[in-house]
């Protein structure tokens, strides 16, 4: 599968998260052989946990299921650029590659000042650059922007 196809699959996870009453974000973990290993949507509402972002929850699950050596070869595909908290979790888990659909800045245009998502103005690449590990970051992908944005339409209270 191509990065676009994996991002579309992550977006399907985001749709399910929204349908379950959670914020509309989705992530998948893909192994070095191209097999999808894990899927995770945001789960704050279900878990009553403000830190249950898709990427952080997926990273936590991955760290319990796979070795750091294996995760270094894996790619986390996510609908939106990971926030600093999620980027930290990805870093500590040792996932070696991150591919995202839309930027944190684009997300801010969707969410405005909605208290459910006080978006940071800091890209994942800045978080990873402050660390000691090399993590490849690819994105955004304009080819999937409209599809990802559509999942967010009508969800956020705009300023």
Supply φ then ψ for residue 136, to 5 degrees. Answer: -75, 130
Q: Which of 44, 55, 81, 147 is catalytic?
A: 55
Find the helix packing angle between 142-152 and 104-111, rounded to 10°: 30
CB distance 38 to 48 below 8 Å: no
Q: How many whole angstroms separate alpha carbon 28 and alpha carbon 13?
A: 8
- Does 65 participate in catalysis according to the annotation? no
Active site residues: 55
């Amino acid at each position: 599968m191509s990065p676009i196809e994996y991002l579309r699959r992550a977006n399907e996870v985001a749709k399910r998260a929204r349908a379950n009453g959670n914020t509309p974000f989705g992530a998948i973990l893909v192994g070095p052989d191209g097999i999808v290993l894990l899927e995770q949507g945001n789960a704050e509402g279900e878990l009553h946990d403000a830190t249950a972002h898709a990427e952080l929850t997926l990273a936590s699950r991955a760290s319990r299921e796979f070795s750091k050596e294996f995760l270094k070869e894996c790619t986390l595909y996510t609908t939106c650029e990971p926030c600093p908290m999620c980027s930290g979790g990805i870093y500590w888990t040792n996932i070696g590659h991150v591919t995202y659909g839309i930027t944190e800045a684009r997300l801010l245009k969707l969410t405005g000042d909605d208290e459910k998502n006080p978006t940071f103005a800091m890209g994942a690449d800045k978080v990873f650059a402050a660390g000691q590990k090399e993590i490849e970051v690819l994105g955004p992908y304009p080819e999937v922007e409209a599809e990802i944005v559509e999942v967010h339409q009508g969800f956020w209270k705009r300023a």
